Copies of this chain bind each other. A is one copy, B any other.
């Protein structure tokens, strides 16, 4: 019997739908990836016309975020030349340290995964990821 997962597929799909709706509202096309608490892919969707190169970036943003339990953009500030974490991107098979990765917390504030979005400007990617994370934050399932 395997351990019970905290990030269920039905909630994951609602997170993706919310992110997609936000992307449509902003008129952008995004790749959306969601990883669970172990950093393993739970679901992915590529909107029609979204960049092929963003498939991998969305996944890496999600993984980077869960790996350090922080928005991917936060890491990027510390990884600039002259900053403390310069070159951290070379670890873990390649990190992505600009915005678009947001931790997924349940309603108790526990981090249970991460969402990574890529396909538009970083500012838009972050907005779309936030829309997904909001759905997770409002869910009660993970604390039940």
Residues on A facing B (Cβ under 8 Å): 1-6, 8-9, 12-13, 36-49, 51-57, 60, 64, 66-69, 76, 79-82, 84-99, 105, 109-112, 121-122
Contacts and interface: CB of A to CB of B under 8 A. Distances in A.
- DSSP class of A's interface residues: helix, strand, loop or mixed? loop
A8 to B, nearest CB: 5
16 contacts: A1-B110, A12-B45, A38-B40, A40-B55, A53-B91, A53-B95, A54-B68, A57-B88, A57-B91, A76-B87, A79-B86, A80-B82, A81-B81, A87-B89, A90-B96, A91-B94
Nearest to A79: B87
A86 to B, nearest CB: 6
